[in-house]
Structure 1
Amino acid sequence: MKKKNLYNRLLVAVCVFIIWGTNSSTSQNLSKFIEVKGIVVDASNNDHLVFTDLVIKGTNISTVTNIDGEFLLKVPIEYSEGAVVITHLGYETKEIDITYFKGTTKIELIPAVTTLDAVNLLARPVNAKDLVLQTLQKKGRLYNNDNTLMTAFYRETIKKRRKNASLSEAVVKIHKQPYTNYRKDNIELIKARKNTNYDRLDTLALKLQGGPFSNLYTDLVKYPEYIFTEEDIDDYEFSFGESTNIDKKLVYVVNFKQSSFINYPLYYGKLYIDAATLALTNAVYSLNVENRHLASQMFVRKKPRKVDVYPTKANYRVNYRIQNGKWHYAYSNILLSFKVNWKGKLFNSIYTLNSEMAVTDWEITNTKFAKIENQMLRPSTILTDQASGFSDPEFWGEYNIIEPEKSIENAISKIKKQLKKT
């Protein structure tokens, strides 16, 4: 077994650190921005569209829809006469004037029909693996190669079965290195808040180790070594799926999975590659967790002797966005599910851990990044140890965040009540 590769993947897999047992205010000028909110649905069947991109036209200010298809975008007042561009993989792009938004606006996207004509069929590469290799080699030309300071919103939740047990949120600054640079990105903590009342939520204390870094390392273009190393790319099988499109541009779909003779955990999923430039636009993939013992080694860092913990699901997603002809990391989501079996107990526990990070604004900087040591996070960071409570209603000020799903809103409301009681 390739132990070195297996443990290198610990970072992208999101390390889980299990501990068993038991306010700052802002003075933001709210007149500097307006809020537009709504819900994005499929025009043909009214299904909520998750992970839809919304960008203020001509800017880098953006957000994504939540699990309910909902969004809230804070628009600086100088762009109040502008427009919002809405894009979703496999749908026609829509542009809506900001003045059109009244209350919660329903936005319907039309599914885009993709047909491969004879020219496209002839132009498509014959070998799917070669296409993936070409894509990974083009990062120097297709992706942003300047020092970039990104503002991002990060959220992580832990559920015991269907009940929210922990919730943490943060605004961070990503000190993004050029894609041709082998230096790793840095993350600076700006604001953070959390629920810490584990006992009152009647659950074991689970903590995610890695925090925003785990989501950042899903950037396959910057960090291909966590998925496809030169050593093990031959352990995968690649094939073409049905093509789709983004903004009327043809997108190849490449399926990948580990070869049948491989017995240690690798990944399987889909890569979405722009046909014209061969840029990776999206990736949706999962870890093979059939081998419980080896999969457990990749996640669990600490546990009691009398308990078995193993993952039942490990799903990942990363989206890229193009601006001024260059692609950059825009959003990622990680969903993990674990089963906990105590020896001697009849019933087991199931925990779901979800983390997501969305870039909401960014700027090119020509100067070297200044390291603010007391605010810089480490890849071993546990965000819940860095955050405070949920007591400040105007905590985020003008920062864009991902709208919370309904169940999370209920959890926040419950947390606030508990904080008031204590």
Structure 2
Amino acid sequence: MEKSLNLKRFTGTIIAALFLAFSLHAQTDFNVYNGTIVDGQTNKALEAVSLNINGTNISTITNSEGEFTLKVPSSYTDSKVAVSLLDYNTYVISLTELLNEDNTIKLYRAVTKLSAVSISAFKNAERLVKKVFSDKNKNLEEQSVFMTAFYRETIKRRNRNVSLTEAVVNILKQPTTSQLHDAIQLGKARKSTDYKRLDTVSVKLQGGPFSTVYLDVMKYPEYIFNEESIMSYNFTFDKPTTINNRTVYVVDFRPKDNAFKINYFGKLFIDVESLALVSANYALDLSNRSKTKNLLVKKKPTNIVVYPLEANYKVDYKAKDGKWYYSYSTLSLKFKVNKKRQLFNKVYTLSSEMAVTDWEVNLTDKKIRNKDKLRPTVIITDAISGFSDANFWGKYNFIEPDKSIQSAIDKIKKNIEKQKRKENGKGTSKVIAGMP
């Protein structure tokens, strides 16, 4: 029962908008760099590649099509950027080389071999995983950390976008030794939802910034590996890999049986030197429909049955000065909605991602005031006007939208322009009252 409740918190809820201003950097003068990152051998676009400005905590990631936009304060014009991805060699390039409008960066796969010492150190994968979680405080920051992050959530019905939410948020990340949960403060945000297609009367979807923050399994291990559940998995070694020129253990895990209502399977990536978790990539075991029915729904009418079809999760961490920090997480939920006496079912996909774009250790014990904190139960309100502003994000880094999301943004812009023409008396004389 407890694990079922944890999942509902784990998947989160959509959050409310509080339009507050904040930034870790006071500079308003910045330069913008764009480009695409591909595999050096196949030319295939690489997703979730990290770009980090050397000597700073400023970063961004690529979208599903390998594209990135990186905004850097002018004071760092002469800096270099480290381009890294799990299983690839890290590439360092100066910002001056990215002044062109059409930049293509190629990454090449790393050839990884564990030394005899590393191989003999851990022959039992389960023992390694237990040590990672039992000794995690050695690798993680002992103080709270203030983070600026970009959040995006999309909801699709079949293949059509019905809701798009984007926001810049401030996160007060509490150390793992603290019993306090992370706090989130919302900055700039924009959202547009087609409620007719979303059919929120039938199903209330779960999502929001908290859903991605709770994927930080180092802070919230109880959502996947608690003392009881870790014994229910089989752990085996896979081929090692590399990130940031560091060797990484790869551990596969699968449930031993179906004793628990909620089971996961996936891979853990563990730094060989520090035994810190570098990344986790996993999914819900949905093979037993009777157990997973209605799992991903917070509230529904009695005549509705929801079957999850996919539930995938990913979290990444970055190292700096011997400590590891939460840097990126994403989830993708796909489910089918069956309604009694309705001929056709409805299939929805909810995708959320959070990328930390800057951070600083909270040396002065700054806090987010209670009145400014987001609650996991509050809903972000529609604010579609932001989509008409090409410079809406200003100095904040964001994840470049892929083609499907850009198409949705373009459609929203057209609707805004159409509404403005109506309000100005151009075109049709009919005015729709109450439209945003």
Relative to the length of structure 2, the TM-score reads 0.89
Offset at residue 129 of structure 1 (A): 1.1
**Any idea what SS the aligned residue of 1:239 has?**
strand
> Could you say which residue in structure 2 is the equivalent of 1:129?
126
Residue of structure 2 aligned with 1:113, choices 99, 111, 114: 111
1:149 aligned to 2:162? no
2: CA distance, partners of 1:353 / 1:69: 21
Offset at residue 120 of structure 1 (A): 3.3
Percent identity between the two aligned chains: 46
Is the Cα–Cα contact under 8 Å of residues 45 and 65 in structure 2 kept in the other structure?
yes
2: CA distance, partners of 1:68 / 1:240: 31
| Counterparts of residues 184-203 of structure 1 (less than 5 Å) | 184-199=181-196, 202-203=197-198
Residue of structure 2 aligned with 1:414, choices 411, 414, 428: 411
**Any idea what SS the aligned residue of 2:9 has?**
coil
Structure 1, 367-376 or 146-155: larger mean CA deviation: 367-376
Unaligned runs of 5+ in 2: 420-436
Is the Cα–Cα contact under 8 Å of residues 151 and 354 in structure 2 kept in the other structure?
yes
> Could you say which residue in structure 2 is the equivalent of 1:396?
393
Distance 1:116 1:85, change over 3 A: same
Distance 1:386 1:414, change over 3 A: closer
Is the Cα–Cα contact under 8 Å of residues 153 and 400 in structure 1 kept in the other structure?
yes
Is the Cα–Cα contact under 8 Å of residues 143 and 175 in structure 2 kept in the other structure?
yes
Is the Cα–Cα contact under 8 Å of residues 149 and 176 in structure 1 kept in the other structure?
yes
Structure 1, 299-308 or 46-55: larger mean CA deviation: 299-308
Offset at residue 385 of structure 1 (A): 6.1
1:16-35 CA-to-partner distances (Å, cap 9, x unmatched) read 89xxxxx9899x99970111
The residue type equivalent to 1:58 in the other structure is G
| Counterparts of residues 139-288 of structure 1 (less than 5 Å) | 139-199=136-196, 202-205=197-200, 208-262=205-259, 264-288=261-285
How many equivalent pairs are there?
411
Is the Cα–Cα contact under 8 Å of residues 243 and 252 in structure 1 kept in the other structure?
yes
**Any idea what SS the aligned residue of 2:155 has?**
strand
1:35-93 CA-to-partner distances (Å, cap 9, x unmatched) read 11111111111111111110011100001111111110001100111111001001000
1:62 aligned to 2:45? no
Structure 1, 38-47 or 296-305: larger mean CA deviation: 296-305
2: CA distance, partners of 1:65 / 1:58: 20
The residue type equivalent to 1:147 in the other structure is S
2: CA distance, partners of 1:72 / 1:344: 48
Is the Cα–Cα contact under 8 Å of residues 294 and 306 in structure 2 kept in the other structure?
no
Is the Cα–Cα contact under 8 Å of residues 58 and 359 in structure 2 kept in the other structure?
yes
Residue of structure 1 aligned with 2:357, choices 356, 360, 370: 360
Structure 1, 297-306 or 46-55: larger mean CA deviation: 297-306
**Any idea what SS the aligned residue of 2:404 has?**
helix
Offset at residue 388 of structure 1 (A): 6.6
Is the Cα–Cα contact under 8 Å of residues 330 and 354 in structure 2 kept in the other structure?
yes
> Could you say which residue in structure 2 is the equivalent of 1:319?
316
1:390-409 CA-to-partner distances (Å, cap 9, x unmatched) read 23332211000011111101
1: CA distance, partners of 2:20 / 2:190: 12
Unaligned runs of 5+ in 1: 18-22
1:373 aligned to 2:390? no
Is the Cα–Cα contact under 8 Å of residues 86 and 243 in structure 2 kept in the other structure?
yes
2: CA distance, partners of 1:15 / 1:31: 33
> Could you say which residue in structure 1 is the equivalent of 2:422?
none
Is the Cα–Cα contact under 8 Å of residues 41 and 69 in structure 1 kept in the other structure?
yes
1:8 aligned to 2:34? no
Relative to the length of structure 1, the TM-score reads 0.91
Offset at residue 295 of structure 1 (A): 2.1
Is the Cα–Cα contact under 8 Å of residues 20 and 187 in structure 2 kept in the other structure?
no
Distance 1:217 1:59, change over 3 A: same
**Any idea what SS the aligned residue of 1:256 has?**
strand
The residue type equivalent to 1:83 in the other structure is K
Is the Cα–Cα contact under 8 Å of residues 208 and 382 in structure 1 kept in the other structure?
no
Residue of structure 1 aligned with 2:304, choices 303, 307, 316: 307
1: CA distance, partners of 2:183 / 2:351: 22
Is the Cα–Cα contact under 8 Å of residues 191 and 382 in structure 2 kept in the other structure?
no
The residue type equivalent to 1:64 in the other structure is I
